[in-house]
Amino acid sequence: MRVLPPRLVCPPGDTKTQLLHILDEIATMNLDPHLPHLDVLTTVACGAKDRANLPAARSIATHIPTAHLLIVPEAGHQWHSAKPSQFAHALQAHLDREA
């Protein structure tokens, strides 16, 4: 994020400095103690090629009692936009679990 231009990473109205501050704050958060207390059906989805986030996705899914882990084959970090039909199917499957 630090090397990308603001127009690619910043929401409208936010500066790069604001975004980096938010990301720094998020990086220091530890939500692990709260995960076992979640009692809503949860789908944790991650692309199989998203090496940076796959370990966290596995850990999060392990700690949420109602979680389902979905590893999307041949997909990277932004698999929802790269594979929109798979994303739509995954979303529908999650909604069907809640019904």
Are 20 and 1 in contact by the 8 Å Cβ rule? The answer is yes
Structure pTM? Answer: 0.76
pLDDT, mean of residues 39-62: 95
Show the CA angle centred on residue 81, arms to residues 22 and 11, nearest 5°: 30
pLDDT, mean of residues 64-71: 96
Provide the mean pLDDT of the chain. Answer: 92
Eight-class DSSP state of 12: T
What is the Cα–Cα distance from 42 to 87, expressed in whole angstroms? 15
Q: Among candidates 93, 55, 52, 60, which has minimal Cα distance to 76?
A: 52
DSSP 32-96: GGGGGG--S-EEEEEETT-TTTHHHHHHHHHHSTTEEEEEETT--TTHHHHSHHHHHHHHHHHHH
Per-residue confidence (pLDDT) for residue 3, from 0 to 100: 86
Q: Does the pLDDT value for residue 45 go beyond 80? A: yes
Per-residue confidence (pLDDT) for residue 59, from 0 to 100: 95
Residue range 71-90, pLDDT digits in tens? 999 999 999 999 999 999 99
Per-residue confidence (pLDDT) for residue 70, from 0 to 100: 96
Per-residue confidence (pLDDT) for residue 99, from 0 to 100: 67
